[in-house]
Amino acid sequence: MKYLFTASRLMKAKDIVKQCQMRHTEEGLILLAAVELQIRLEIENRKKQQAPTLTA
């Protein structure tokens, strides 16, 4: 199962999708997409920070 970190707590992606479907608006889908984008960017930044650095 996929998990997303939002609002300083761990939420199941399934629960977020459920909340968006209950609204029946585009705002819910936009919010979900924004959260996914933010998480992807954070993961990329962590990978960059963990990359080994070469020193001469």
Determine the pLDDT at residue 1.
Answer: 43
pLDDT in tens, 1-56: 455 555 545 566 677 777 766 666 667 667 778 888 888 888 888 888 876 666 65
Q: What is the pTM of this model?
A: 0.45
Rg (CA), the chain: 15
DSSP class of residue 41 equals: H
Which tokens sit at 20? 């968006």
